[in-house]
C-alpha cells in the first residue's frame, strides 16, 4: 500500500499487478514485502542498469533522483536543522521525565520516613 501511494504521489500510478511485479523484482527474502534493504536495492539496481526498461521500479528510481548541482543542498540544511531541533526537544522531554521520576522517588522516601516516625510514636504509646 505504501509503494502504491508513493507511486501515485510521484505521478506514476501502478496497477495491483504492476506493484506485485515491482516488489517481486527486488524481493530477496520472498515475503512479498519490501524491507528497507530491498527498497535501497531498487536504487542500487537502477544505478547499475539492472532494472527492466518497462519496470515501475525504474520509473520510481528516475522520478526520485535529485540533481544536487541543480537543486543545491538547502534542503539538507533544513533537514539537519530539524533533526537537531528534534533531538534537543527529545532530550528536554527525557530531562522532564527524569525530573518527574526523581520527584516521585523523593516523595516515596518522604512517605517511608513519615511511616517510620509514625510507627515509632505509635510504639511509644502502646507500651
Counts of helices then strands in the chain (DSSP H, E): 6, 0
Q: Which long-range contacts link 3-8 to residues 24+ away (Cβ below 8 Å)?
A: 3/34, 6/60, 7/56, 7/59, 7/60
| 71 and 116, same domain (yes or no) | yes
Residues 88 and 121 in one domain: yes
What angle do the packed helices 36-48 and 16-26 form, to 10 degrees?
80
**Do 15 and 31 form a contact (C-beta atoms < 8 A)?**
no
12 plus 56 within the same structural domain: yes
Q: What is the span of the domain harbouring residue 40?
A: 2-63
Cβ neighbours of residue 13 under 8 Å, at least 6 residues apart?
4, 7
Q: Provide the grid cell at 92.
A: 528536554
How many domains is the chain built from? 2
The domain that contains 23 carries what CATH number? 1.10.238.10
Q: What is the pLDDT along the chain (127 residues), one digit of tens a residue?
A: 888 888 888 777 888 888 888 888 888 888 988 888 888 888 888 878 887 777 777 777 776 666 656 556 666 667 667 667 766 666 667 778 888 999 999 999 999 999 999 999 988 888 6
If asked whether residues 10 and 59 sit together in one domain, one would say yes
Same domain, 55 and 82: no
In a shared domain, residues 19 and 47: yes
Asked if 83 and 45 sit in the same domain, the reply is no
Q: Which of 47, 63, 79 is the last residue of a domain?
A: 63
77 and 47 co-located in one domain: no
Amino acid at each position: 500500500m505504501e509503494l502504491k501511494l508513493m507511486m501515485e504521489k510521484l505521478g506514476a500510478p501502478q496497477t495491483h499487478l504492476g506493484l506485485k511485479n515491482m516488489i517481486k523484482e527486488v524481493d530477496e527474502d520472498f515475503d512479498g514485502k519490501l524491507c528497507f534493504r530491498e527498497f535501497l536495492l531498487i536504487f542500487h539496481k537502477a544505478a547499475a542498469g539492472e532494472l527492466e526498461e518497462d519496470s515501475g521500479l525504474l520509473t520510481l528510481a528516475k522520478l526520485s533522483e535529485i540533481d544536487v548541482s541543480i537543486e543545491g543542498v538547502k534542503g539538507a540544511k533544513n533537514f539537519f536543522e530539524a533533526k537537531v531541533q528534534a533531538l534537543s526537544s527529545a532530550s528536554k522531554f527525557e530531562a522532564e521525565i527524569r525530573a518527574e521520576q526523581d520527584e516521585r522517588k523523593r516523595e516515596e522516601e518522604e512517605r517511608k520516613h513519615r511511616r517510620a516516625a509514625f510507627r515509632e510514636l505509635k510504639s511509644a504509646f502502646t507500651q
